[in-house]
Structure 1
Amino acid sequence: MLSYTPACRQLVGSCSALNVRRSQTFKAFYATIRSLREAPPTDIDDVSADNDFILSILRANASSRDAKPYFASFGVPRPQSRLPAPVLPQHDDSIPTQSLEPTPPIEHTKVSPLIASIIDPVVRRTALVKVQGPFSQVQLDSIARGMVHLEKLGLVSVIVVENDDIHRGEQDSRSAVIEDTMRLVSCLEKHGSRARPVLGAIVRLGPKPGDPETEQDFISPEAHTFPSDLVPIRSALRSGEIPVIPPFALDSFCRSVRIDANDVLGALARGMVEAGSQNSSSQVAASADASIEASGEVDLTPLRLMIINREGGVPSYARAGYPHLLINLDSESKHIRETFQESWRHTHKTSLSNLALAKTCLAYMPPTSSAVMVSHRSQSSLIGNLITNRPAVSSSLPHALLQGNRKLTPHTPTLIRRGLPIRVVRTTEEIDRTKMNALLEQSFGRTLEEKDFYDRLKHTLDFVIIAGDYAGAAIVTNEPCAHLSRPISYLDKFAVLPSHQGDGTVDFLWVALHDESYGLGHPFSVNPNGGKEGQGEGRDLVWRSRANNPVNKWYFERSSGHVRMGDWVLFWCDAEKRLRLEQERRGRAGLSYIEGWEEGRLASWIDIVQKIPSCWRK
């Protein structure tokens, strides 16, 4: 039997109770002549769609912690809830008390404000979606169903249609693209949504007038848009419709011509962000008096970029061609291009161009935004990505677990974030103490004994991994051990600013830590972060954590083992290359007993770690 987190059970319970009433109200209010062309769906179809929606949420299996980004974006507090307060039975002396049924517990009648915001979001958000065909009718139905599910959760798609088999300049290519657009519109309406084809050009060819000529680390789109050009999109969103757009643009002669869909998406990302920022103050004022609910206004600033294609994610050299799970564009995009195998240029023809598209769009979108590249076979995973804003499988898990994980398939989505630069320093002189102190104190909520801390690092420091401008850091020291031939590698501090928790920085930092310590010697550790770049022998990594630390669950998943030491827990990660060699030596028997190199090491680690002084003021 499947087990789900309390957050999922709470969400599904509210879905089943409120979805029927909300669906009927929605359909009655937005009934149009176009929606009446086809026969209304039967009750069986409604139930099937509702079950599919609920199962998609359950598969996300999100904890309350995982769902915090979703609640922060969609669960905006409201002065007045749309859901009426529950009416509880009151004692009345005029009614015989013995005739009353036992009063149900109060908690069963309460509606969680978080669930209310999910089922009926206050502020709807937008997502830019590239539907990159060609797709069969069955595949298009699956994609449309996913878009409808996302709309129910408050994320409204602005879709740009592309067809790789219809080349620009071909005869009747324009009419073929329009036909694809109308097919998707029909599929969306068939699955209970309302869609509007926006067949007129909404972007203009060429750079935007007045843009300064400055060097950028991303490819600027060959198109632009003005606020007035977005009127059709804004009108569709206000009317509760999903705009579906073919890749057309106005040239200098005001002719509508077909262009690359990536240029349309790049221009829309910039234009919608600019329009959203211009209207942010008025939207805040509107939400304060709840008039935004009546106006049906939608925040134009894109929260997600979704690229739905036939290829899936970006293939990874570290996973034998299986997709990257999480990409830090700032530090990894160049390396991904350099390691992109020639055979992938035939099987994943558009991976690199879509990666460039993600970099362009995310450069304009808010820092919390992300992009996801997904196969049409995995459209249901978009709900999990929306709720958690995390990859389907964490990239910081041990490589052995990733290799054997059933969730890791050729169709696993790739989550892409703007990310942060990662660098490695090896001396205390290279550390900005002011910024490091602020990072450690904000992350741990304690005051640092600065002098004692840095005096110890002068003698023991091995390396420091720094993410961005001290948004996160991992400090590793060499702790002498009389019983072992070499010092132990000790993770002294692992810290991320609270403002960067949940944006991928934790995973980016841990992957870099893996590549610089216990993952050394493997080809997949060759990452250009300024460190050893995969060269050398991996070393066991040891660290400790308070027994009541809520992060320990995360550590348990990433460590090779742990042992309790009173108020502390000792964790360690074995050098992966040595484990692989030992496993090959023993064949299929596995490592089921203590090897010679393991004897006595645990007692030595405990002895050393217990003697490491605290760096915090008491």
Structure 2
Amino acid sequence: MLKPVSNKLISTATKSRSAQSFGAFYATVRGFRHEPHRSEDIDIPSNNDFILSVLRSNPSARDAKSYLAHFGARPRPVPVPVHPPPPIHADRHVPRDIQPIVEEPKPSPIVTSILDPVYHRTALVKIQGPFTDRQLESITRGMVYLQKLGLVSVIIVEQDQVPRGEEGEREAILEETTRVVEALEKQGAKTRPVLDAVVRLGPRPGEDPTTASSRVPVPEAHTMPSDLAPIRSALRAGEIPVLSPLALDSFCRSARVDANDVIAALARGMVEAAELDYSQWPAEAMCSKTTVDVDLTPMRLMIISKEGGVPSYARSGLPHLLVNLESEYSYIHDTFQFPWKTTHPTALSNLALAHTCLAYMPSSSSAIMVNHRAPSSLIGHLITNKPAVSSSLPHALLQGNRGLTSNTPTLLRRGLGIEVIRDHANIDKAKMTRLLEQSFGRVLDSDPFYARLKQDIDFVIVAGDYAGAAIVTKESSSVDPSASSIVYLDKFAVLPSHQGDGTVDFLWVALHDETYGLGLPFSVNPNGGREGRGEGKDLVWRSRSNNPINKWYFERSSGHLRMGDWVLFWCDAEKRLKTEEGRRASAGLSYIEEWEHERLALWTSVIPKIPSSWRK
């Protein structure tokens, strides 16, 4: 029999749920407040607008650290006065006209470093028009802001309203390129229009695309290191290169091609050229980023269009927030609805472009598909490398967030494969142990841990080659064997090298789909699990009260209960919770319902008895 819940426990739980509700509301207001719409006819002083864009990105300490790792901080020499003033002795009279020196307040080192980068990197940018002059002004202002932050754009201009093969198309494309150049120069940028082809159609000589790995798409065009001379020259001169979508055919004739072919060829070619540069630099030059000439490696891919992000079946057509291309690419194609082919005709081709480019770009790189109405989001994307809103937040909170609109960008990462394991024998224990010990910074007591896992395993979600894992067990009550087993999140771990690259969100979304999100249409992602089939289950876990990750847990849990040195968290099965919310709408809101007393008693009697997994 279960012990009855004491009044003290219920009171504590009630306060906990009340505090959690207030915390969720506060997080919603704080995290999702968005600026009121500004009319395009109102100009803000450019410097103030730039600084506000940086501040609105609200980078965390980890975000700023990651940004500084890529762009560095400009070393400032200590000023030495040419004629230092003589020392003032206590017994000397100080003339009245000599005023005491008042030190000006110093800005934050992080803000100073962000606003004064030393190490410039490159981004591939597709400007997919047509755009009005006013729209181009907004877009190019964003490009100038990015350059101030250390990210220099290599821009490829596309004009969707100029049909392929039509007479005069080349002139129309070159005219559009000139418009972009002029818009950039009006913003004070130095530009260089590159009106000749820098890529070549077809595979690279000696390369057979049919033998290439299907996991690494081969671009329809290629470029050699020598072809990149105009781009390299522009970047060395501090100029933004602006290219037309032209390529050389087998007869060395310049012809208009799809801009995506040019961008994919540049992504691969610039990465390979940068690797060649690094191999030729002396060892001492590798120790100092300030000695590097121009790093051609693209850090970002930005696709700016009128369509914006990729529509999501899980958000009723609003854009995907974060896409794991490794595991979601095919499924997004399969679930792309017919009406979207009219409203977002190039969404899938741009998705394919991101898939191809990110396959060659560094694993830390990302792509963003953004509407021309939200150029300021590019600032936040550069500094934080995160989506506008976390995709692992509760679905109800995402659905009710007014900040999520058709203009919300889609962030895309190369990502990792997601695998669901249900038999403990299929777990690579050596890799799992390494993951857990590096993530938690403690030594795993392996034998009893894996013995308990063999007996109680529900499932394990593994991201990539054990870059992250979520271990879920079924816990039963020794007092009441007839009670339903608890779906318990025993371990949630991500390697330090993958923290901040989206792996945490990818894992949690998969965990949601396998537990408390079951039975709902937005939980059918093909992660090798149940694909949305079944009834949702409450997910329960505990965390030390001083664990810094608890803030993240508070935002994603339905409720929590403090138990001494521990905090008990849970996520209610969303399908049942939706029914409960409908009933409460007429019956009045109560934080702890009668039916919840029993499960709270079960959880608080079972969870504290779970043994530690770590050596003393």
TM-score, normalising length: structure 2: 0.88
Are 1:254 and 2:248 an aligned pair?
A: no
Deviation for aligned residue 1:288: 5.2
Change (3 A) 1:362 1:86: farther
Which amino acid is the alignment partner of residue 444 of structure 1? Answer: F
Q: Which residue is equivalent to 1:394? A: 390
- Please give the alpha-carbon distance, in whole angstroms, between the structure 2 residues aligned to 1:233 and 1:417: 25
Which amino acid is the alignment partner of residue 61 of structure 1? Answer: N
Equivalent positions of 1:147-186 (< 5 A) are: 147-186=143-182
Tell me if structure 2 keeps the 8 A contact 1:218–1:356.
no
- Please give the alpha-carbon distance, in whole angstroms, between the structure 2 residues aligned to 1:347 and 1:536: 33
Q: Which residue is equivalent to 1:224? A: 222
Q: Which residue is equivalent to 2:549? A: 551
- Please give the alpha-carbon distance, in whole angstroms, between the structure 1 residues aligned to 2:199 and 2:216: 20
Tell me if structure 2 keeps the 8 A contact 1:466–1:473.
yes
Are 1:437 and 2:433 an aligned pair?
A: yes
- Please give the alpha-carbon distance, in whole angstroms, between the structure 2 residues aligned to 1:577 and 1:325: 22
Name the count of aligned residue pairs: 568
Secondary structure at the aligned position of 1:485 is classed as coil
Which amino acid is the alignment partner of residue 543 of structure 1? Answer: W
- Please give the alpha-carbon distance, in whole angstroms, between the structure 2 residues aligned to 1:575 and 1:455: 29
Secondary structure at the aligned position of 1:530 is classed as coil
Q: Which residue is equivalent to 2:76? A: 82
Deviation for aligned residue 1:174: 0.4
- Please give the alpha-carbon distance, in whole angstroms, between the structure 2 residues aligned to 1:257 and 1:325: 36
Change (3 A) 1:595 1:115: closer
Once the two structures are superposed, what CA deviation does each residue of 1:210-235 show, in whole Å capped at 9, x if it has no partner? Answer: 22432322542211001111000011
Deviation for aligned residue 1:248: 0.2
Change (3 A) 1:411 1:97: same
Q: Which residue is equivalent to 1:453? A: 449
Tell me which stretches of 4 or more aligned residues in structure 1 moved more than 6 Å: 86-90, 97-103
Are 1:563 and 2:557 an aligned pair?
A: no
Change (3 A) 1:599 1:247: same
- Please give the alpha-carbon distance, in whole angstroms, between the structure 2 residues aligned to 1:393 and 1:437: 32
User: What runs of 5+ residues in structure 1 fail to find an aligned partner?
Assistant: 5-43
Tell me if structure 1 keeps the 8 A contact 2:558–2:571.
yes
Equivalent positions of 1:218-367 (< 5 A) are: 218-281=216-279, 282=281, 285-286=284-285, 292=291, 297-367=293-363
Q: Which residue is equivalent to 2:504? A: 506
Tell me if structure 2 keeps the 8 A contact 1:197–1:245.
yes
Deviation for aligned residue 1:584: 2.2
Change (3 A) 1:413 1:289: closer
Tell me if structure 1 keeps the 8 A contact 2:325–2:414.
yes
- Please give the alpha-carbon distance, in whole angstroms, between the structure 1 residues aligned to 2:78 and 2:270: 35
Secondary structure at the aligned position of 2:141 is classed as helix
Change (3 A) 1:377 1:473: same
- Please give the alpha-carbon distance, in whole angstroms, between the structure 2 residues aligned to 1:149 and 1:614: 50
Secondary structure at the aligned position of 2:296 is classed as strand
Deviation for aligned residue 1:116: 4.2
- Please give the alpha-carbon distance, in whole angstroms, between the structure 2 residues aligned to 1:472 and 1:489: 19
Tell me if structure 1 keeps the 8 A contact 2:118–2:290.
no
Change (3 A) 1:306 1:350: same
Secondary structure at the aligned position of 1:601 is classed as helix
Tell me if structure 2 keeps the 8 A contact 1:60–1:383.
yes
- Please give the alpha-carbon distance, in whole angstroms, between the structure 1 residues aligned to 2:95 and 2:601: 68
Q: In terms of mean alpha carbon deviation, does 94-103 or 166-175 score higher?
A: 94-103
> Percent same amino acid among aligned pairs?
65
- Please give the alpha-carbon distance, in whole angstroms, between the structure 1 residues aligned to 2:70 and 2:565: 37
Deviation for aligned residue 1:585: 3.0
TM-score, normalising length: structure 1: 0.87
Deviation for aligned residue 1:566: 1.6
Equivalent positions of 1:564-603 (< 5 A) are: 564-587=562-585, 591-603=589-601
User: What runs of 5+ residues in structure 2 fail to find an aligned partner?
Assistant: 1-25, 28-41
Q: Which residue is equivalent to 1:24? A: none
Are 1:50 and 2:78 an aligned pair?
A: no
Q: In terms of mean alpha carbon deviation, does 115-124 or 471-480 score higher?
A: 115-124
- Please give the alpha-carbon distance, in whole angstroms, between the structure 1 residues aligned to 2:587 and 2:178: 58
Q: Which residue is equivalent to 2:17? A: none
Secondary structure at the aligned position of 1:378 is classed as coil
Q: CA RMSD in A?
A: 2.4
Equivalent positions of 1:344-493 (< 5 A) are: 344-481=340-477, 482=479, 485-493=483-491
Which amino acid is the alignment partner of residue 69 of structure 1? Answer: S
- Please give the alpha-carbon distance, in whole angstroms, between the structure 2 residues aligned to 1:579 and 1:593: 13
Q: In terms of mean alpha carbon deviation, does 109-118 or 569-578 score higher?
A: 109-118
- Please give the alpha-carbon distance, in whole angstroms, between the structure 1 residues aligned to 2:491 and 2:297: 37
Tell me if structure 1 keeps the 8 A contact 2:544–2:565.
yes
Once the two structures are superposed, what CA deviation does each residue of 1:25-58 show, in whole Å capped at 9, x if it has no partner? Answer: xxxxxxxxxxxxxxxxxxx98x800111011112
Q: Which residue is equivalent to 2:7? A: none
Q: In terms of mean alpha carbon deviation, does 598-607 or 304-313 score higher?
A: 598-607
Q: Whose relative contact order is higher, 1 or 2, with alpha carbons under 8 Å and at least 6 apart?
A: 2
